[in-house]
Structure 1
Amino acid sequence: MSLKIGIIGAGAIGGYFAAQLVKAGMEVVVLARGKTRDALLKDGLTLTSEKGVDKVTFAAVSDDPAELGVCDAVLFTVKGQSTDQAAEDMRPMIGDDTEIISLQNGLYGIERLAAKYDEGQLSPGITYIPAVVEAPGQVTRTGSLTRTVFGPLHPRDTALHDELAAALQEQGTDAFALKEPMKEIWTKYVVLAPFHLIGCLTRLPVGGWIGTEEMQDLFFRAMKEICALGRAKGADVPDRIAEKQVHFVKTTANPNTKASMLEDLERGKPLELESIIGWVCRESKKSGLDSPIHDMAYALLLAHKDGRG
């Protein structure tokens, strides 16, 4: 069955999935504004990767969500700092049975969506796809990793999730629908925030900082701060996850990989500071935990939060 899929946030990640779903035969509508809207209306979206160049057009592109109409599912892929506004803007696209699938970094976004919508419609997810926006309507995938998982926040029927995952797999995306996605989301978050903060503070890709014992230790201690927070929130996040991640990044990760927050920092764009690193600081304090590495990084990066305008 062809599903009607809304894309909320046609940046690097939203653009990638929008292109893949069009190629899979889905009816894809895009909520976009300004130069991105104009580019998508005029020329569609161009996705460049090691596999070549794909160009797609959409069933509809508009800055008016009512014009796009109610969807079977929406992919919520805006940057963390845009969460609240985008969540309000998309209301006309959300019906009683619309699945809201969040592929944002971190856990802040799903908490904000849960405050605004029925939790029975929410599906948290994560993606490891590295991609950047070169210009409005032009997305480049910068690495070959495509692992993506998503699933319901609370147990329920997953037929739609399974259909979306299968459609994405047919297009070469390593996508999986999980009945209980939160453990894998926490597992990614353990490495996500430390990876972003170290990348931004060193201004280096992973290969530039992971090679010394001192940085490996800093990385490990930052990840343990998140493991402790996860356990305080009732998640199964043992410290051995941090140990495995240090080994993986040291031995297996592409040394040229940059944190997306570092990409934004270098381009003078606003940072997902509050939703990725600030969230750890605030939630740790609420739980009576110390998070000195995240606290330091948050303070040092605060001056860059809003970009260069």
Structure 2
Amino acid sequence: MRIGVIGAGAVGGTFAGLLAAKGHEVEVTARGAQLDALRAGGLLLDGGWGEHRAAITAHATLTERPELAILATKAQDSATALAANATRLEGVPILVVQNGLGGLEVAHRELPDAPLLGALALFAASYLEPGHVTVTGPNPVVIGAGPGADRVLLERIAGVVGEAMPVEVSDDITAAQWTKLLINHVNALPAITGLSVQEVVVDRGLRRVMTASMRETVRLARRMGVRFGKVQGVSGSVLNLLAVLPLGIGEQFPRLLARRMGAVPNPGSTLQSIRRGQLTEIDFLNGAVVRAAADHALLAPVNAAIVALVHEVERTGSFLSPAEVVDRVPV
């Protein structure tokens, strides 16, 4: 199959490398040093799913109309990326692989005639250097139907991707996205402190802040009538417990997430963006909680404070100490 991957960072690079290894014709879009490296030596993908050197075609925008497009840019870049590739994507099925909420809505607004599927990348991957992506947590991808996609298309695309990596099919991708959004609360504090997810969870004060942000999110979701889907063994019933448990007991949840990441320090995608000097997708992660709360005349003070601190680090380039974070987030 001819597959176009828009955004060849950690997630897009993983898709591109594994799909190319299965014999698909893969073209990726990239910029700057990443584009130069992919053109010069292809993509090196190693780690949890083995080592692959993928000879892929790379350009600033797609040069051919694919049979399947995979949107793997950061959420804040998706509208611009889709607009830049719109002439190649008319009517093409698009798999939107992004953290946070709103990705399918943005894609539908930009390309209303394209059948859309949503995907959650549960695997952990790091963009180590131009042309090199390492998979540190070989977990599944969850795929569900979005606007314009029926069950037949969903199963066909899930079958194609499933040949390259483990896939779980969801009947309610929005509910699954909310669960992934909660899991992604592990990303913000590493971006603020410069620590790995595992180091954040080990720190008592930071772990308490992380748990408080998760508890606030679950409580708000329940008031808004949001459902949580089962993702990576995490069910809605487990998450609903966070709304009622004391923080000290609720801290077992981020500890569980950190243990699942293994021993290799995981920086999280938001810290990776900070290290590259890029704007983060925090407004689509914890910031999505703040916006959803505001839409229902509710407040999310813990998540709002965390979002503000990430933007402060983006602006200043200076990380904060754990003590500063604990002092400035209202838990």
**TM-score > 0.5 by shorter chain:** yes
Q: What letter matches 2:300 in structure 1?
A: S
* Aligned counterparts of 2:59 and 2:272: Cα–Cα separation in 1: 27
Q: Secondary structure at the match of 2:171?
A: coil
Letter in 2 for 1:79: K
Q: CA deviation at 1:198?
A: 2.4
> RMSD value over aligned CA atoms?
2.7
Letter in 2 for 1:249: P
Q: Which amino acid aligns with 2:89?
A: I
Task: Please say if 1:301 is aligned against 2:310.
Answer: yes
Q: Structure 1 CA distance, aligned partners of 2:125 and 2:67?
A: 26
1:265 alignment counterpart = 274
Which range moves more in the overlay, 289-298 or 274-283?
274-283
> 1:109 Cα shift?
2.4
CA shift in 2, pair 1:166/1:34, >3 Å: same
Decide whether the 8 Å contact of 1:270 with 1:306 is kept in 2.
Answer: no
155-164 or 267-276: which moved more?
Answer: 155-164
1:151 counterpart SS class: strand
> In the alignment, is the contact (CA less than 8 A) between 1:281 and 1:295 conserved in 2?
yes
Task: Give the Cα–Cα distance (whole angstroms) in 1 for the partners of residues 73 and 133 of structure 2.
Answer: 15
Q: Which one of the candidate residues 197, 215, 220 is aligned to 1:224?
A: 215
After superposition, residues 122-201 of structure 1 pair within 5 angstroms as 122-141=116-135, 143-154=136-147, 156-171=149-164, 173-192=165-184, 194-201=185-192
User: How many residue pairs end up in the alignment?
Assistant: 299
Change in 2 beyond 3 A, CA 1:89/1:120: closer
In 2, are the aligned partners of 1:273 and 1:305 still within 8 Å (CA)?
no
Q: CA deviation at 1:47?
A: 0.8
Which of 33, 58, 61 is residue 58 of structure 2 equivalent to? 61
Residue range with higher mean Cα deviation, 128-137 or 30-39: 30-39
Contact 1:268–1:307, Cα closer than 8 Å, also in 2: no
Q: Distance in 1 between matches of 2:167 and 2:316?
A: 32
- 2:304 & 2:130 partners in 1: Cα distance? 34
Which residue matches 2:245? none
Indicate if the aligned counterparts of 1:272 and 1:305 stay in contact, CA closer than 8 A.
no
2:70 partner amino acid: L
**Structure 1 residues 240, 110: CA separation in 2 closer, same or farther (over 3 Å shift)?**
same
Residue 284 (structure 2) aligned to one of 234, 253, 275: 275
Task: For structure 1, list consecutive stretches of 5 or more residues without a partner in the other structure.
Answer: none
User: Does residue 99 of structure 2 align to residue 94 of structure 1?
Assistant: no
Which residue identity lines up with residue 300 of structure 1 in the other structure?
Answer: L
- Once residues 43 and 203 of structure 2 are traced to their aligned partners in structure 1, the CA distance between those partners, rounded to angstroms, is 41
Distance between the aligned counterparts of 2:58 and 2:127, measured in 1?
18
Cα distance in 1 for residues equivalent to 2:202 and 2:283: 28
Which residue, 269, 279, 293 being the options, matches 1:284?
293
2: distance between equivalents of 1:204 and 1:83?
27
Structure-2 change in CA distance of 1:22 and 1:210 (3 Å): same
Q: Distance in 2 between matches of 1:306 and 1:13?
A: 25
Structure 2 unmatched runs, 5+: 229-235, 243-249, 318-331
Once residues 159 and 273 of structure 1 are traced to their aligned partners in structure 2, the CA distance between those partners, rounded to angstroms, is 34
Aligned match of 1:47 = 45
User: Is the 1:7–1:75 contact (alpha carbons within 8 Å) kept by the matching residues of 2?
Assistant: yes
How far residue 95 of structure 1 moved from its aligned partner, in angstroms, is: 2.4
With structure 1 as the length reference, what TM-score do the two structures score? 0.84
Letter matched to residue 77 of structure 1: A
Once the two structures are superposed, the pairs formed by residues 73-88 of structure 1 within 5 Å of their partners are 73-88=68-83
Paired with 2:113 and 2:251, the residues of 1 have a C-alpha distance of 34
Instruction: Evaluate the alpha carbon distance shift between residue 160 and residue 44 of structure 1 in structure 2; reply closer, same or farther with a 3 A threshold.
Output: farther
Q: Distance in 1 between matches of 2:175 and 2:160?
A: 24
Q: Which amino acid aligns with 2:197?
A: V
The more displaced of 20-29 and 208-217 is: 208-217
Residue deviations 1:55-82 (CA, integer Å, cap 9, x gap)? 1112x432243x22x2222111001221
Give the superposition deviation at 1:184.
1.6
Query: Is this contact kept in 1: 2:47–2:134, CA < 8 A?
Result: yes
Query: How far did residue 291 of structure 1 move?
Result: 0.7
Distance change (3 Å), C-alpha of 1:57 and 1:139: same
8 Å contact 1:44–1:55 — kept in the other structure? Answer: yes
SS at match of 1:210: helix
Return the offset for 1:307.
7.9
| Distance in 1, Cα, partners of 2:3 & 2:45 | 18
1:20/1:161 Cα in 2 relative to 1: closer, same or farther (>3 Å)? farther
* Residues 39 and 267 of structure 1: CA distance in aligned 2, closer, same or farther (over 3 Å): closer
CA 1:231 to 1:100, structure 2 compared with 1: closer, same or farther past 3 Å?
farther
Alpha carbons 1:71, 1:95 under 8 Å: kept: no
